[in-house]
């Protein structure tokens, strides 16, 4: 019963987010601030993880190729497929649920505890539009983060494969181009947009409706990570069924 109530309250929140709008000039500033906090600040960790995980994918593929009939180009092919289809869109999103999700929940939760949200409401401001809408807009730029993650993941695979002595550069590039289906990129970016919406709204819901004090802000951040990850994994499964089957 509680879950049904929570689901209802989540959708009511979404409705209110797109309700009465904050003044445009203020909203524009808030969107730029969120772009900085949620997108730009996430770039270093996304770049670091993508590059090294791409490298690990290439090395593991190379080390498992014990049949001389398997072409070296498979390393490039496997790196591309793993990074584009799953690693960048889904696993980077799980990492972002930890980084960005916790940040959103704790910042909105702290505002709830210290009555800052009540202050907005008393002034006649739609606090959900003021707080959540700029985050949704900022995270619509999330596909750019994932595009960079894809590039760096494949780059990491190339560096590890070529400089680790597992493959030649030409074989790796040949593998990258082999049986390439452009629709896989479309599929990956559709997933990314859905994950971005989850990343913006589920942590906001956790923070906005939390009750209690500082301790509960911490608990809400943990819950936010758990639920955002669960929803990303579930929607990943559903979207894969719908778009690739």
Partner 1 sequence: MIKVDDIHKSFGDEEILKGISTVFDKGKTNLIIGQSGSGKTVMLKCLLGLFKPEKGRIYYEDTAIQDMNDEQQRQLREQIGMLFQGGALFDSMNIEENVMFPLRMFTKQKKSEMLDRVNEVLSRVNLENVNKKYPAEISGGMQKRVSIARAIVNRPKYLFCDEPNSGLDPKTATLIDNLIQEITHEFDMTTVVVTHDMNSVMEIGEKVVLLKHGKLVWQGTNKEIFKTDNEDVVNFVYSSDLFKKIKEAQLKEG
Kindly list the residues in this chain that would bind partner 1 in the complex (CB under 8 A): 20, 22-23, 25-26, 110-111, 114-116, 118-119, 121-125
CA torsion 128-131-134-139 (nearest 10°) is: -100
Which 3 state secondary structure label does DSSP give 15? helix
Least spacing, CB of residue 129 vs partner 1, in Å:
12
> Which residue's CB is nearer to partner 1, number 25 or number 179?
25
Least spacing, CB of residue 204 vs partner 1, in Å:
16
> Which residue's CB is nearer to partner 1, number 32 or number 237?
32
Contact 123, 245 (CB under 8 A): no
Least spacing, CB of residue 26 vs partner 1, in Å:
6
Least spacing, CB of residue 111 vs partner 1, in Å:
8
Rounded to whole angstroms, the Cα distance separating 55 from 36 reads 28
> Which residue's CB is nearer to partner 1, number 30 or number 59?
30
How many distinct helices (H) and strands (E) make up the chain?
12, 0
Contacts of 210 (CB under 8 A, 6+ apart): 105, 109, 112, 113, 216, 217, 220
> Which residue's CB is nearer to partner 1, number 78 or number 111?
111
């Amino acid at each position: 019963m509680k879950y049904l109530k929570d689901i209802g309250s989540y959708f009511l929140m979404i409705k209110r987010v797109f309700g009465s709008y904050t003044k445009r000039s203020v909203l524009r500033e808030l969107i730029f601030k969120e772009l900085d906090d949620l997108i730009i600040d996430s770039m270093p960790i996304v770049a670091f993880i993508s590059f090294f995980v791409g490298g690990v994918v290439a090395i593991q593929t190379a080390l498992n190729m014990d049949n001389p009939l398997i072409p070296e180009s498979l390393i490039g092919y496997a790196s591309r497929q793993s990074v584009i289809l799953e690693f960048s869109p889904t696993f980077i999103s799980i990492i972002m649920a930890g980084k960005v999700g916790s940040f959103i929940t704790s910042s909105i939760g702290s505002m709830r505890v210290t009555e800052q949200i009540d202050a907005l409401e008393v002034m006649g401001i739609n606090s959900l539009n003021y707080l959540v809408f700029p985050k949704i807009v900022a995270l619509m730029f999330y596909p750019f983060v994932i595009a960079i993650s894809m590039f760096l993941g494949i780059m990491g695979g190339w560096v590890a494969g070529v400089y680790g002595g597992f493959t030649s550069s030409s074989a790796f590039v040949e593998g990258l181009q082999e049986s390439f289906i452009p629709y896989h990129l479309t599929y990956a970016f559709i997933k990314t947009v859905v994950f971005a919406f989850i990343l913006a709204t589920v942590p906001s819901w956790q923070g906005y409706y939390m009750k209690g004090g500082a301790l509960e802000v911490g608990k809400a951040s943990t819950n936010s990570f758990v639920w955002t990850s669960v929803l990303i994994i579930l929607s990943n499964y559903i979207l894969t069924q719908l778009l690739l089957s």
